[in-house]
């Protein structure tokens, strides 16, 4: 376990310890850039020797100069200078090669670890992405790989520094002990005291600054995103949101400023302690050497060598403990990264069975309930509903009635809190999610456009892997034919201007037609439309629904709409209220029952009767 106790504000966070993290990072380097391990070893050996090399060289030079044999001394001096110069050149070259060839390899290892983090995000179950604890540990993992010389890359960089300092301390320890064992003790005590204070600063800084800021990063990133996102630009300008958003950003930023002030005051105090300790250490070293010269008749050459050894020892010991503190901090952030990658999720895909091949499928909700994380009541309660093969069923109800929750359960983005859902009589949890997802072609109300080609947005495949003719057919059937014809590059047009300067932005209605095209291209056996026509008017919505119903043929379909007239063509209509399925039958049967559905339909029919384009029965004329 770690020497420092990590903040317990997130139950998903784990502590692996500095030893475990060191082995973990070494394995990652060996996996992604094995040559960097050789370069690190080369650099730490060369750097260690260079820290005291010139002191040894100076001793020999001074001894030769003080030699009584001047002629032999000159020859010996030249030889020593040439040898020392050659050794120094080799050591410097090795150190330079190590430094210049290691840094980008560290970055490469970190980039591969970022890929691991992204893959983990993409692999998480959908419902986990809505939990604050998961979002927080994911944000911490992101910060651990953001390239600020902390986190995973910080551990890699400081391994060389620690190795170099450790080797220097070992080599110089013997020399300083020979000079005066008491000096070693004094240097160790002073350095350890300084390190303990440094470790205290690291712990306080991590807990009081960076841990407390981690949850605020999401708010800051969100504010930065929406102020630069074209989709928000109209509302910001038309509703004069500039001052409002600036105020919100300032509120978030004020906390950052306050924590950063605290951070800098911490380190200012530490710098004073460091300066004082360094002065005392140098004074002790020179005092011991002067005493040795006066009382032990130490030669000038030995004075020079022992001075180099003593300062190298004290500097290396100080650097060792300081860098160990930095290393410890980087290790704590590596805990954040590993906590996210090792995020424990229930393995609900053990002993899965293949989905049986069939022309059509029957889905059934069996006493299904679902409660959101930390919610006080069920969003969906004890629902029993069967979607028969080839059936078109509409799901209706007021906002908050449970319609979207029901769809997310149907698609297995969520798993029921109680009850179960079956596919042809088998609990859907017996199937792998990836296989189950292939059965559905969903179209959601909020259509997200990727900064890819238009054809890639339809096929959800890379350009070289998609069927361009099929993508064009799906687009035409969804009503995008005229829009595509107006584009110079047609289906090869990039969407949005985020990546490509000649990218095209689609209107709200065009985005929803694109989503329909995506569903048509996928050609799954079950189609789900979660209010995808909210950007269309009532006439266009019913026309599109009925046309889409013709296009999908005998496939099963689930339609959600707040306009009841648009879905009256469905085989059955499921009416939800406050998380309960209150009615389910055909439109005519529900109207005859004169219940909840009929009441809601009649309220909307008042608009239809006033609208000359709509008949009294609620059917839009000439659709």
Alpha-carbon distance of 219 to 390, in angstroms, equals 45
The mean per-residue pLDDT over the stretch 228-257 comes to 80
The residue whose two tokens read 């190795």 is 163
Alpha-carbon distance of 358 to 596, in angstroms, equals 36
pLDDT on residue 407: 92
Q: Per-residue confidence at 316, pLDDT binned at 50, 70, 90?
A: confident
Residues paired with 504 in a beta bridge: 495
Q: Per-residue confidence at 618, pLDDT binned at 50, 70, 90?
A: very low
Alpha helices in 207-299 (DSSP H): 211-228, 230-238, 242-295
Alpha-carbon distance of 545 to 558, in angstroms, equals 11
Alpha-carbon distance of 76 to 71, in angstroms, equals 9
pLDDT on residue 343: 81
Question: Please, are residues 572 and 391 in contact by the beta-carbon 8 Å criterion?
Answer: yes
Q: Per-residue confidence at 538, pLDDT binned at 50, 70, 90?
A: low
Q: Per-residue confidence at 379, pLDDT binned at 50, 70, 90?
A: very high
pLDDT on residue 296: 72
pLDDT on residue 215: 67
pLDDT exceeds 80 at position 535: no
Question: Please, are residues 445 and 395 in contact by the beta-carbon 8 Å criterion?
Answer: no
pLDDT tens digits for range 28-42: 999 999 999 999 999
Residue 214 or residue 459, greater confidence: 459
Residue 204 or residue 61, greater confidence: 204
pLDDT on residue 20: 93
pLDDT exceeds 80 at position 231: no
- What residues have CB less than 8 Å from 7, skipping those under 6 apart? 13, 206, 207, 211
Q: What are phi and psi of 573, to 5 degrees?
A: -125, 125
Look up the pTM and report it. 0.69
Could you give all domains of the chain from N- to C-terminal order, each with its CATH number?
A: 18-341 (1.20.1560.10), 363-449+506-610 (3.40.50.300), 450-505 (no CATH)
pLDDT tens digits for range 448-470: 888 899 999 999 888 888 899 99
pLDDT tens digits for range 86-110: 888 999 999 999 989 998 899 999 9
pLDDT exceeds 60 at position 114: yes
Nearest 10 degrees: CA dihedral of 182, 183, 188, 194? 120
Question: Please, are residues 67 and 33 in contact by the beta-carbon 8 Å criterion?
Answer: no
pLDDT on residue 619: 44
pLDDT on residue 345: 65
pLDDT on residue 5: 40
Q: Per-residue confidence at 576, pLDDT binned at 50, 70, 90?
A: very high
Question: Please, are residues 420 and 504 in contact by the beta-carbon 8 Å criterion?
Answer: no
Residue 474 or residue 273, greater confidence: 474
Alpha-carbon distance of 378 to 592, in angstroms, equals 30
Alpha-carbon distance of 569 to 547, in angstroms, equals 11
Q: What are phi and psi of 432, to 5 degrees?
A: -70, 140
Strands 418-423 and 392-396: unpaired
Q: What is the mean pLDDT of the chain?
A: 83
Range of weakest confidence among 8-17, 129-138, 152-161, 507-516: 8-17
pLDDT on residue 245: 83
The mean per-residue pLDDT over the stretch 142-155 comes to 86
Residue 177 or residue 331, greater confidence: 331
pLDDT exceeds 60 at position 610: no
pLDDT tens digits for range 382-433: 999 999 999 999 999 888 889 989 999 999 999 999 999 999 999 999 999 8
Q: Rounded to a whole number, what is the distance in angstroms from the first to the last CA of the chain?
A: 69
pLDDT on residue 237: 77
Tokens of 363: 């889905």
pLDDT exceeds 50 at position 621: no
CA distance readout (Å), 21 to 10, 18, 214, 344: 20, 5, 21, 18
pLDDT on residue 582: 95
- What residues have CB less than 8 Å from 433, skipping those under 6 apart? 125, 349, 412
Alpha-carbon distance of 298 to 294, in angstroms, equals 7
User: Nearest Cα to 530, choosing from 409, 433, 374?
Assistant: 409
**One-character DSSP codes across 301-348:** HHHHHHHHHHHHHHHHHHHHHHHHHHHHHHHHHHHHHHHHHT-----T
The mean per-residue pLDDT over the stretch 530-545 comes to 69
pLDDT tens digits for range 328-360: 889 988 999 999 998 876 566 678 889 988 888
Coil vs helix vs strand at 367:
strand
- What residues have CB less than 8 Å from 420, skipping those under 6 apart? 366, 367, 368, 427, 428, 429
Exposure string (b/e) for 114-151, b if CB count within 10 Å is 16 or more? beebeeeeeeeeebbeeeeebebbbbbbbbbbeeeebb
CA distance readout (Å), 595 to 401, 456, 571, 584, 600: 16, 46, 18, 11, 9
The mean per-residue pLDDT over the stretch 427-445 comes to 90
């Amino acid at each position: 376990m770690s020497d420092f106790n990590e903040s317990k504000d997130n139950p998903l966070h784990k502590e692996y310890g500095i030893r475990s993290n060191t082995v973990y990072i070494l394995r990652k380097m060996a996996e992604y850039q094995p040559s960097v391990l050789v370069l690190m070893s080369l650099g730490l050996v060369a750097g260690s020797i260079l820290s005291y090399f010139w002191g040894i060289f100076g001793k020999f030079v001074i001894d030769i100069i003080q030699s009584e044999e001047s002629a032999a001394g000159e020859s010996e001096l030249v030889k020593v200078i040439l040898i020392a110069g050659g050794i120094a050149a080799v050591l410097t070259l090795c150190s330079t090669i190590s430094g210049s060839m290691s840094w980008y390899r560290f970055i490469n290892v970190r980039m591969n670890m970022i890929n691991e983090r992204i893959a983990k995000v993409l692999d998480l179950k959908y419902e986990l992405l809505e939990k604050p604890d998961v979002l927080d540990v994911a944000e911490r993992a992101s910060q651990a790989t953001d390239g600020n010389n902390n986190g995973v890359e910080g551990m890699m960089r400081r391994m060389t520094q620690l190795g170099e300092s450790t080797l220097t301390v070992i080599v110089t320890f013997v020399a300083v002990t020979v000079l005066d064992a008491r000096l070693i003790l004094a240097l160790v005590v002073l350095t350890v005291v300084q390190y303990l204070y440094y470790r205290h600063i690291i712990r306080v800084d991590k807990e009081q600054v960076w841990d407390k800021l981690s949850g605020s990063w999401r708010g800051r990133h969100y504010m930065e995103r929406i102020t630069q996102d074209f989709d928000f630009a109209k509302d910001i300008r038309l509703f004069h949101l500039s001052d409002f958003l600036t105020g919100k950003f300032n509120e978030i930023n004020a906390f950052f400023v306050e924590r950063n002030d605290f951070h800098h005051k911490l380190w200012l105090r530490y710098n004073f302690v460091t300066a004082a300790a360094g002065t005392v250490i140098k004074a002790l070293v020179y005092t011991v050497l002067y005493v040795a010269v006066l009382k032990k008749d130490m030669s000038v050459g030995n004075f020079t060598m022992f001075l180099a050894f003593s300062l190298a020892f004290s500097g290396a010991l100080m650097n060792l403990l300081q860098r160990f503190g930095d290393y410890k901090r980087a290790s704590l952030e590596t805990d954040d990264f590993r906590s996210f990658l090792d995020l424990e999720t229930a393995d609900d895909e053990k002993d899965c069975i293949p989905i049986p091949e069939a022309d059509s499928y029957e889905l059934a909700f069996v006493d299904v309930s679902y409660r959101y994380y930390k919610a006080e009541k069920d969003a969906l309660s004890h629902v029993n509903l069967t979607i028969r093969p080839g059936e078109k069923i509409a799901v209706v109800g007021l906002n908050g009635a449970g319609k979207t929750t029901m769809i997310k359960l149907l698609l297995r983005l969520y798993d029921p809190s109680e009850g179960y859902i079956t596919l042809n009589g088998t609990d859907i949890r017996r199937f792998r999610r990836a296989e189950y997802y292939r059965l559905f072609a969903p179209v959601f109300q909020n259509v997200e456009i990727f900064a890819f080609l238009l054809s890639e947005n339809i096929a959800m495949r890379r350009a070289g892997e998609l069927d361009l003719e099929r993508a064009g057919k799906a687009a035409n059937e969804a009503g995008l034919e005229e829009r595509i014809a107006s584009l110079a590059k047609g289906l090869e047009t990039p969407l949005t201007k985020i990546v490509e300067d000649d990218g095209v932005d689609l209107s709200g209605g065009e985005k929803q037609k694109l989503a329909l095209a995506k569903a048509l291209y996928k050609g799954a056996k079950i189609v789900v439309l979660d209010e995808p026509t909210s950007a269309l008017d009532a006439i266009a919505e019913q026309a599109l629904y009925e046309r889409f119903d013709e296009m999908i043929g005998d496939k099963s379909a689930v339609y959600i709409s707040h306009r009841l007239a648009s879905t009256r063509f469905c085989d059955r209509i499921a009416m939800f209220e406050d998380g309960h399925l209150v009615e389910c039958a055909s439109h005519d049967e529900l109207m005859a029952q004169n219940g909840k559905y009929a009441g809601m339909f009649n309220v909307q029919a008042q608009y239809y009767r006033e609208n000359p384009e709509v008949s009294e029965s609620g059917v839009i004329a000439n659709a």
